[in-house]
Chains A and B, each alone.
Chain A
Amino acid sequence: MSESMAAARRALGDGAPMVELRGISRRFEKKLDFAGRLAKRLGAGVREETVHAVDNVDLTIRKGEVVGLVGESGCGKSTLGRMVAGILPPSDGSILRDGTELLDRDSAAARELKLRTQMIFQDPYASLNPRMRVVDIVGEAPLVHGITSRSGFDAYVDEQMRRAGLDPAFKRRYPHQFSGGQRQRIGIARALAVKPDFIVCDEAVAALDVSIQAQILNLFIRLRSELDLTYLFISHDLGVVEHISDRVVIMYLGRVVEEASSETVFASPNHPYTQSLLASVPRIESRKRAFSVVKGEIPSPLNPPPGCHFHPRCPHAMERCKVEKPELKTVAPGQRSACHLNDMA
């Protein structure tokens, strides 16, 4: 497919679905600490608490798209990303990959699909085995999965490294002998070596200095068109998400509150939380200005406010918001938002 055709299709959002999430939830039990266990044995009404890390999310990612996933810490981005990548089973709901149920762990087809989804993390150092040389970090999985052969191994690894902007001359080195940016390149080379078509990036540039971050973002943009990749790009940095994404999904305390094209989200956000978030972001274009302020703290995900989770901080909150959960509804073509205000027009 030519680049412009691909771009046109992405803009129209009519690529075939790559990943479909239907009613996905993930809960974690928060174990009681010692005092809590003691209190429970003494008959106090203490119960193990449940975190609704991801709460009933529907989401479709189409082939060739870059979907940005934003939200503040603890809102469930990583949990959602890990479920999409197939490395964390959901508590409820189903995940379709190319129309096939991903959770069906036993089928060979599902395993193959899982290999075609790769994840890139924030801390490349923690995700690279410190005792392995780069050549093995990058080459091991393709060899195991028969993507390359013993005889073609060295050439294959060299190609992967070069593509990620690493000099193959360094392939016998260990991860600690590289800088942060180079380690992220190793992580990228490793992920791409198994020929995925879908990449989940979880804060993949968050730990990098801005000049190095720019290099890695440029690499992601180039690889996308070279290899026809689809990305789920998780980041708390709205500038980064705006830069790289075609479509943006905003989460707050486990729920998707808004979803639309990048342009729409940043030009005419619908949800009050999205609006607040955008108003809080410092912008390099702005000059000495009053920072606008969202009131209040981010509530604990252990005990989120009832109704609309955002109501204690929302400047437009009404009685209804305190009791009734707003559903995610289409408010404009290609834009969905979960806010009761949309029922009032």
Chain B
Amino acid sequence: MTVASTPASPAAAPTLEVRNLRTHFFTRAGVVKAVDDVSFSIGRGKVLGLVGESGSGKTVTGFSVLGLVDPPGRIVGGEILFQGRDLTKMSEAEMRDLRGNRVAMIFQDPMMTLNPVLRVDTQMIETVLAHKKVSREEARQRARDTLGMVGIPSPDERLKSYPHQFSGGMRQRVAIAIALLHEPDLIVADEPTTALDVTIQGQILAEVQKLATTTGTSLIWITHDLSVVAGLADEVAVMYAGRIVEKGAVSDVLDAPLHPYTFGLIGSVPSRNKRGEPLRQIPGMTPSLLNLPPGCAFRTRCPRAAEVCMAEPEIRELAPGREARCFRPMNEAAEQAA
């Protein structure tokens, strides 16, 4: 890949800016507010970690950005500004042209991307030709280069295989290579390493990290694993019950979380400093999105809940570059204790 050498000017607009996104599912049981008032932005070449537990709305957020939400789901509000253009206002044809070209998605299951009955070279060449007027041979060369970038050994020979002839880790690399074919400006990666072994995950994370810094591609990395975010991302947004409850620079958020949920989540991660001791656990479980408690959705599990939490907290800036959706954030706890 030709490394784009034009550095972004500091004043450059973010690659992606999502404002007050709301994506709801209209089910027989009721309206599921899978994504409710979600806002974030990503600069060029930056990695945003989108974390949260299962059902918190991470995938639906990613699908919304790519225009992949199917009925009964629908984007009911907000803007998704990609390089200044609002994706929610685009036609399906325009979106299709954008997808796989300027914006790409990597799924947890690489077979969402790969066609099982086509050889890898055929799929990759077709993908190149779908958006670029080049010769077949040029397209093949591009496919080869991209596979090399994701660390697939002897890509020439590998190109002629079918997806099932690859291991899970290799399949995921091919899917990543396909996402990279057009040097997209934005990649949404939905738990792409969750199903992989740790040494293979390490290999892929290393490649991805290199890509973001050398190509200027912006990444949304969806995961439930805070440790992956710690090593990979610049910024992190924590989701709970369809909303972002905290966001900021990775080291700020992980070192001194502001939201009680983030605090609990970090304490739940087993790590070397806590061997054999009980982990600091969050009581209870995630409420059903159909049946959220009134007020703060975390209230029933929150050790800091108080009378004020019966109202719905808005996300607000609590320190420069740091936002949380909480009336009684952790930094105030520290102040009170001091």
Structural contact, A284 and B202, CB atoms closer than 8 A: no
Contact call B53/A211, Cβ cutoff below 8 A: yes
- Among A16-24, A189-197, A274-282, A334-342, the stretch that binds chain B is A274-282
Q: Are A210 and B201 in contact (CB under 8 A)?
A: no
Q: Identify which of B230, B264, B274, B276 contacts A211 (C-beta below 8 A).
A: B264
CB proximity of A336 to chain B, nearest CB, Å: 21
Q: Does B282 contact A (CB under 8 A)?
A: yes
A218 at interface, CB cutoff 8 A: yes
Which stretch, A78-86, A137-145, A240-248, A318-326, touches the partner chain B?
Answer: A240-248
B contact residues around A136 at 8 Å (CB): none
Contact of A284 among B199, B269, B275, B276 (CB under 8 A): B269
Q: Is B72 an interface residue (CB 8 A)?
A: no
Q: Is B54 an interface residue (CB 8 A)?
A: yes
B198-A238 in contact (CB<8A): yes
Q: With a CB–CB cut-off of 8 A, which chain B residues contact A295? A: 203
Which of B197, B230, B278 is A287 in contact with, Cβ under 8 Å? Answer: B230
Q: How far is the CA of A210 from the CA of B201 in the complex (A)?
A: 19
Alpha-carbon distance A238/B197, docked complex (angstroms): 11
Q: For the complex, what is the distance from the CA of A239 to the CA of B272, rounded to whole Å?
A: 7
Given contact pairs A280-B198, A284-B266, A291-B206, A214 touches B275 in the complex (Cβ within 8 A)? no
Of the listed residues A210, A244, A291, the one surrounded by the most CB atoms of chain B closer than 10 A to its CB is A210
A291 to B231, Cβ gap below 8 A? yes
A179 at the interface (CB under 8 A from B): yes
Any A CB within 8 A of the CB of B292:
no
CB atoms of B281 and A289 under 8 A apart? no
Known: A218-B279, A242-B270, A262-B275. A209 touches B54 (CB 8 A): yes
User: Is the Cβ of B199 less than 8 Å from the Cβ of A239?
Assistant: no
Kindly name the residue among B205, B227, B251, B254 whose own CB sees the greatest number of chain A CB atoms within 10 A. B227
- A210 and B230 in contact, given A243-B279, A297-B169 (Cβ under 8 angstroms): no
Decide if A280 touches B271 in the complex (CB within 8 Å). no
Mask, A287-302, CB within 8 Å of B = 1, is: 1111111110110000
Separation of A288 and B197 alpha carbons in the complex (Å): 21
Q: Is A266 located at the chain interface by the 8 A CB criterion?
A: yes
Q: How far is the CA of A298 from the CA of B203 in the complex (A)?
A: 12
Q: Which residues of B contact A221 (CB under 8 A)?
A: 276-278
- Roughly how many angstroms separate A238 CA and B198 CA in the complex, as a whole number? 9
Binding site for B on A (CB under 8 A): 72-73, 179, 181-182, 209-215, 217-218, 221-222, 236-240, 242-244, 262, 266, 276-277, 279-295, 297-298
> Which B residues are closer than 8 A to A by beta carbons?
53-54, 167, 169-170, 197-203, 205-206, 209, 224-228, 230-234, 250-251, 254, 264-283, 285-286
Q: Which 3 A-B pairs have the closest CB atoms?
A: A280-B202, A243-B270, A214-B268
Query: What would 12 more interface pairs be, CB under 8 Å, given A209-B54, A286-B230?
Result: A181-B285, A211-B264, A214-B279, A218-B278, A243-B276, A281-B202, A282-B230, A285-B271, A291-B231, A292-B206, A293-B202, A297-B200
24 interchain pairs, CB-CB under 8 A: A72-B197, A181-B285, A182-B285, A210-B265, A211-B264, A211-B282, A212-B285, A214-B279, A218-B278, A236-B198, A243-B271, A243-B274, A243-B276, A244-B270, A277-B198, A284-B266, A287-B230, A287-B251, A287-B254, A288-B250, A291-B232, A292-B202, A294-B202, A298-B167
